[in-house]
């Protein structure tokens, strides 16, 4: 409801002209410049009453600009720290470009998200677009939820999923973002199956005795103690299997159970200019 209110409130605002800093960049072609304008205007239209908009800020090879709801202190808006979900009840939009060594625009990045103030799902979405082709080439999605003052869930989705067991790490192919956008049922299937696949990968490695832990040497007060990688003993392996079940299995259950709400939030946050 918060996002819907913000979008409806934004409709009452006539988007202003794109700020000059974006006009002076060296885009590979007119399509890239048109895309940046469309994304900028979408962000401007989505900003509700009381939202702040940072000035475009150069940081090394990056030019970025942020829009933030009133819950975010105006001084914090330009830093992009809001996109990590640090402010309860907040919403945000971000637009960035990465400049190549010669100064031309190489990548376009789009951020959007919201964090619920109550026990409901929030989401942070990041999209990377190749400026030359105007095609999406990478993405990342964090879904998170709070109850009272504690974060009760935080699940990462992207082209690759990751988990760690002791000193070993495991990866699995993530879901296709386009499949998550289709419907709640498709979201449940593809996101749930991806985390199920990650759990299966980790379980196979543990059961094959491939997982490793540190056997620490004696500490002499001269830095970190030496870590020699050794196989898990049977007790450690049982604990590791329990860890995978409790963590990755829990994520899979959450994504399947709340897929309809998560899909609706994702569709609302995904920019029209990239559909």
**Which string of DSSP letters, residue by residue, matches 202-213?**
HHHHHHTT--EE
Judged by average pLDDT, the poorest of 63-72, 79-88, 149-158 is: 79-88
Query: Which residues fall within 8 angstroms of residue 81, CB to CB, at 6 or more apart?
Result: none
Model confidence at 66, in pLDDT bands (50, 70, 90)?
Answer: very high
CB atoms closer than 10 angstroms to residue 176 = 14
269 has pLDDT over 90:
yes
Q: Percent of the chain beyond pLDDT 70?
A: 90
7 has pLDDT over 60:
no
6 has pLDDT over 60:
no
85 has pLDDT over 70:
no
CA gap 250, 262 in Å, rounded: 16
> What does DSSP say about strands 135-147 and 168-173: parallel, antiparallel, or unpaired?
unpaired
């Amino acid at each position: 409801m918060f996002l819907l209110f913000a979008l409806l409130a934004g409709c009452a605002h006539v988007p202003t002209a794109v700020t000059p800093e974006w006009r002076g960049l060296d885009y590979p072609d007119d399509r890239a410049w048109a895309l940046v304008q469309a994304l900028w205007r979408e962000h401007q239209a989505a900003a509700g009453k009381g939202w702040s908009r940072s000035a475009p800020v150069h940081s090394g090879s990056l030019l970025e600009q942020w829009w933030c709801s009133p819950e975010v202190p105006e001084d914090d808006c330009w830093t992009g720290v809001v996109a990590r979900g640090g402010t309860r009840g907040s919403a945000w939009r971000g637009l960035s470009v990465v400049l190549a060594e010669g100064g031309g625009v190489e990548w376009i990045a789009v951020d959007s998200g919201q964090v619920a103030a109550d026990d409901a799902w929030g989401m942070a979405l990041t999209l990377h677009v190749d400026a030359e082709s105007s095609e999406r080439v990478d993405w990342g999605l964090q879904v998170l939820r709070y109850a009272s003052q504690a974060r009760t869930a935080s699940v990462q989705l992207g082209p690759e999923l990751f988990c760690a067991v002791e000193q070993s790490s495991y990866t699995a192919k993530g879901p296709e973002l386009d499949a998550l956008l289709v419907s709640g049922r498709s979201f449940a299937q593809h996101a749930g199956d991806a985390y199920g696949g990650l759990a299966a990968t980790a379980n196979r490695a543990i059961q094959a005795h491939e997982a490793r832990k540190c056997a620490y040497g004696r500490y002499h007060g001269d830095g970190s103690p030496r870590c020699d990688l050794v196989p898990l003993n049977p007790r450690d392996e049982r604990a590791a299997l329990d860890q995978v079940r409790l963590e990755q299995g829990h994520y899979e259950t959450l994504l399947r159970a709340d897929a309809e709400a998560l899909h609706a939030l994702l569709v609302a946050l995904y920019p029209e200019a990239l559909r």
